[in-house]
Amino acid sequence: MGDEIRGSCLCGAVAYEIPASDIGVVTTCYCSLCRKNHGAERRLRASARTRGFRWVAGEPLLQRYRYAPEREKVFCRVCGTPLVNAYLDQPELLGLAIATLDQDPGKRNVLHLFAASRPEWIEIRDDLPQLDTVPDMLGRVVRIDPDHVLLETEPGQQHRIRVHAEAGDFSVGDRVRASLAHGERGFRVSVVAR
Ligand SMILES: [Zn+2]
Ligand SMILES: [Zn+2]
Do the domain assignments include residue 60?
A: yes
Q: How far is the CA of 106 from the centre of ligand 2 (A)?
A: 22
Do the domain assignments include residue 163?
A: yes
> CB burial class (10 A; 0-12, 13-18, 19+) of residue 193?
exposed
Percent of the chain with pLDDT over 70: 97
Are 23 and 104 contained in the same domain? yes
pLDDT at 102: 98
pLDDT at 155: 84
pLDDT at 61: 98
Identify which ligand lies nearest to the alpha carbon of 114: 2
Query: What residues contact 11, with CB distance under 8 A and at least 6 apart?
Result: 76, 78, 79, 81
pLDDT over 90 at 135, yes or no: no
Do the domain assignments include residue 94?
A: yes
Where is the domain boundary, 85, 117, 149? 117
Model pTM score = 0.75
DSSP code for 136? P
Range of lowest pLDDT (104-108, 147-151, 170-174): 147-151
* Residue 1 pLDDT class (50, 70, 90 cuts): low
CATH at 146: 2.40.50
Are 96 and 17 contained in the same domain? yes
Domain count, the chain: 2
Q: How far is the CA of 99 from the centre of ligand 2 (A)?
A: 15
| Distance of alpha carbon 134 from alpha carbon 29, whole angstroms | 9
3-state SS, residue 97: strand
Give residue 185's domain range: 137-193
pLDDT over 60 at 76, yes or no: yes
CATH at 42: 2.170.150.70
Q: Are 178 and 188 in contact (CB under 8 A)?
A: yes
Q: How far is the CA of 97 from the centre of ligand 1 (A)?
A: 14
pLDDT at 161: 85
Do the domain assignments include residue 127?
A: no
Q: How far is the CA of 77 from the centre of ligand 1 (A)?
A: 7
pLDDT over 60 at 38, yes or no: yes
Are 17 and 99 contained in the same domain? yes
Q: How far is the CA of 39 from the centre of ligand 2 (A)?
A: 12
Q: Are 63 and 81 in contact (CB under 8 A)?
A: no
Amino acid code (one letter) for 162:
R
Do the domain assignments include residue 175?
A: yes
Across 126-142, average pLDDT: 86
pLDDT over 70 at 123, yes or no: yes
Are 8 and 88 contained in the same domain? yes
* Residue 114 pLDDT class (50, 70, 90 cuts): confident
Are 108 and 151 contained in the same domain? no
Cα 67 to the chain's mean position, in Å? 14
